[in-house]
Amino acid sequence: MAANYENNPAVANFVEYLRIPSVQPDINYDDCVAFLKKQANGLGLGLKVYELVPRKPIVVITWAGKDQSLPSILLNSHMDVVPVFENSWTYPPFSGHIDKDGKIFARGSQDMKCVGIQYLEAVRKLQKAGVQLKRTLHICFVPDEEIGGHDGMEKFVHTKDFKDLNVGFALDEGMASPNEEFILFNGERSIWQIHVHCTGQPGHGSLLLPNNAGEKLRFIIDKFMDLRAEQKKILDSDPKLTIGDVTTINLTQIYGGVQSNVVPEKLTAVFDMRLAVTVSHEEFERKINQWCKEAGEGVTIEFEQRNPCVPCTKLDETNPYWIAFKAAADELKLKLDCRIFPGGTDSRYVRNVGIPALGFSPMNHTPVLLHDHDEFLDAEIFLKGIDIYVKLITSVTNV
């Protein structure tokens, strides 16, 4: 069974890409670029490499459409993958091992080297069928998505080179679905990472000093964790809601102090928050500032990350690309489950410059294993995904 899959050219391409250990941090992307140049040559397509930050290449493969005056379609994926704990893997994580059931094991098999190869293999099928698309197609491979995309898509969307691509609509990554449905994402929560600094009177650990950093820290933690409990209650109370529909708050770090018997002059709590798309950023910040005021003097906030409020991509008749996407999905009898993405993807940067974008990875009947040990994708699901993209790409490029 496995040998049959290994002889499949699309699977062989996928495995070759998976074997490139483009793992965070400090990635050398040279092998990814060389691999993609080989792919572009095999497809007879032009390729450009943009390097806005040294050693952080953005690779764009272009298939020109019949009417190049029309806005183009962007198919985006990222080349980087997250680190691995190799001892916890059944097979080496960069081997692309295919087991007897046809499961392809590798870091990046779901997140998201599969999608990058599926785009290319869908184009190969369309070319073989003699199809010519109306709109130009740009297949984009970006660096550093797994560490926020700050040297990749975040910068790229503001360049003249990106504007010259004339993008009207974009597809990017989604997520695996363990059941029959395919999950589609049209928006993302805003990531806020915040350090709350609590200062106070230092002194000996045997005293009960007033104006104490520890008391202020406790007040702040209680406020954030109470809000977390409220959001959890909302999520648990309605089976229709998913994690992307609520605001998540997690206490991720506490630091400060000098030694066990000294009351510190400063303690800091760090919170990772993902603001639901329904939350007013101004009101939320006012609430945090009010908590700091109530905690006592000398309590301040510092943002490590603060995503702006980015409107969701419309899933209605005002968005012709969505209409085309939905028509193709209906024709393929795909059951779509439309959601807000729970984490962050490069789609947020594309949406932020006013371009509609959808997150979609054609992986149903697949356990969600992104960033997990033994990440795998079934070869049949991978191959089926290529055919799904053939239909979707044809539909959206001919809008």
Name the catalytic one among 121, 145, 188, 375.
Answer: 145
CA distance 272 to 256: 18
> Catalytic: 80?
yes
CA distance 11 to 19: 12
- Helix 9-18 to helix 30-43 angle (10° resolution) is 160
DSSP assignment of 98-132 equals: E-TT-EEE-TTTTTTHHHHHHHHHHHHHHHHTT--
Write out the two tokens for 3.
Answer: 């040998």
Write out the two tokens for 331.
Answer: 């024709």
CA distance 118 to 115: 5
Q: SS3 of 321, please?
A: helix
- Number of Cβ within 10 Å of residue 343's Cβ equals 14
Question: Secondary structure of the chain: what % helix, strand, coil (to 5)?
Answer: 35, 25, 40
- At 187, phi and psi to the nearest 5? -165, 170
| Residues with Cβ within 8 Å of residue 361, at least 6 apart in sequence | 110, 112, 114, 115, 173, 174, 175, 176, 183, 385
Q: Please identify which residue in the block is written with the tokens 């779901």.
A: 110
For residues 375 and 300, the answer to whether their CB atoms sit within 8 Å is: no
CA distance 212 to 204: 12
By annotation, the residues acting in catalysis are: 80, 145
